[in-house]
């Protein structure tokens, strides 16, 4: 089984403020994505390239006030848990999402190996141009390994957010740290993910980007 980076996830408490901050730091204007009905969130996007691959993107995820109160355990990518911890006024790395060649086979292998991957949720959002994107997403709750374990996604045959994610910035590095890097590495291997995990006092993701404003580090 093989997996490919699908997207990196930043979170913020206010989408418009987060978009302004990201534009200021990168020199690139994020593109409004849309709302995730029933999941309490909405997003904005930046195109991303990594190792020549451009079918990936940077997602800025925030609460959607128009949806009112949504149970914390139903929010997209477990954003509710992060909100309870407090997000402050900046954009922060939250987790990452990979795209397996075969989502169902990857889920079965992970479950058989004792890795918690969460239930598969079918979700959708409508782009500003009216196109409806649909996907299947497996997210452990709480996030696996503090967000170092990626969630798993399958977009099916129609559409991908990178098609309309706007200007592209380059991902120079995705730095993963965990107090038990050997355990984290085993989990990634089971998911078919080939990526280094270094030691750290806590679970942490760092996104290193090359942008029109130069090299920036989001942590």
What is d(CA 209, CA 96) in angstroms, rounded to the nearest whole number?
A: 15
User: Alpha helix locations (H) across the chain?
Assistant: 15-26, 79-85, 103-112, 181-190
User: What pLDDT, on the 0 to 100 scale, is given for residue 170?
Assistant: 96
For residue 26, the tally of other CB atoms under 10 A from its CB is: 21
Burial of 95 (0-12, 13-18, 19+ CB in 10 A): buried
Domain boundaries, the chain: 3-218
User: What pLDDT, on the 0 to 100 scale, is given for residue 205?
Assistant: 98
User: For residue range 12-61, what is the model confidence (pLDDT) as tens digits?
Assistant: 999 999 999 999 999 999 999 888 888 888 999 999 999 888 889 999 99
Average pLDDT, the chain: 91
Q: What is the pTM of this model?
A: 0.93
DSSP state, residue 76: G
Determine the straight-line distance between the first and last CA of the chain, rounded to whole angstroms. 30
Q: Look at 3-7, 30-34, 84-88, 133-137 and tell me which has the smallest mean pLDDT.
A: 84-88
Pick the CATH number of 3-218 from 1.10.3720.10, 3.40.640.10, 3.10.180.10, 3.40.462.40: 3.10.180.10
């Amino acid at each position: 089984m093989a997996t490919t980076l699908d997207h990196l996830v930043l979170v913020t408490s206010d989408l418009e403020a987060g978009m302004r901050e990201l534009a200021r730091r990168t020199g690139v204007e994020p593109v409004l994505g849309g709302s995730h009905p029933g999941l309490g969130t909405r997003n904005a996007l930046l195109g991303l390239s990594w190792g020549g691959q451009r079918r990936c993107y940077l997602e800025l995820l925030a609460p959607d006030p128009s949806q009112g109160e949504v149970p914390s355990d139903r929010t997209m990518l477990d954003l509710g848990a992060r909100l309870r911890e407090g997000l402050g006024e900046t954009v922060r790395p939250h987790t990452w999402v990979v795209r397996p060649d075969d989502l169902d086979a990857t889920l079965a292998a992970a479950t058989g190996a004792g890795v918690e991957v969460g239930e598969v949720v079918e979700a959708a959002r409508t782009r500003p141009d009216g196109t409806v994107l649909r996907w299947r997403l497996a997210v452990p709750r709480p996030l696996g390994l503090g967000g170092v374990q990626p969630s798993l996604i399958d977009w099916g045959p129609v559409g991908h957010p990178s098609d309309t994610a706007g200007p592209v910035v380059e991902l120079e590095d995705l730095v993963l740290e965990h107090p038990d890097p050997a355990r984290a590495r085993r989990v990634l291997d089971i998911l078919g993910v080939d990526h280094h995990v270094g030691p750290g006092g806590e679970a942490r993701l760092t996104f290193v980007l090359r942008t029109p404003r130069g090299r920036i580090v989001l942590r």
